[in-house]
Amino acid sequence: MSTSSIYIPSHLPTPVVVLLVLLELPFTLASAVFYAGDLAFTLLRLAVTTAFSEAVFLVHFLMVIAIEVVGCLPDARSLVYSCARGMVLSVVRVVQALLGLAKDLAFNLLFCVARLSLLAARSSWLLVVCIVQVLLVVTHDLAIHLLAIARWVVSRLSSALACTLTAVVWLVGRAASLAWFLLVTRWHSAAKPSPCLAPAGRSFRSDRAL
Q: Torsion angle, CA of 120/121/126/131, rounded to 10 degrees?
A: 0
- 103 and 45 Cβ atoms separated by less than 8 Å: yes
What pLDDT sits at residue 33? 75
pLDDT value of residue 210 = 45
pLDDT value at residue 120: 56
Given this model, what pLDDT does residue 209 score? 47
Using CA atoms, how far apart are residues 119 and 52, in angstroms rounded to an integer?
42
- Please give the pLDDT value at position 181: 73
- 46, 48, 51, 56 alpha-carbon torsion, rounded to 10°: -100
DSSP secondary structure code for residue 200 in this structure:
S
151 vs 93: CA distance, rounded Å: 12
State the pLDDT at residue 190.
65
What is the predicted pLDDT for the residue at 170? Answer: 72
pTM: 0.29
What are the residue ranges in the chain where pLDDT is below 50? Answer: 1-8, 73-74, 197-198, 201-210
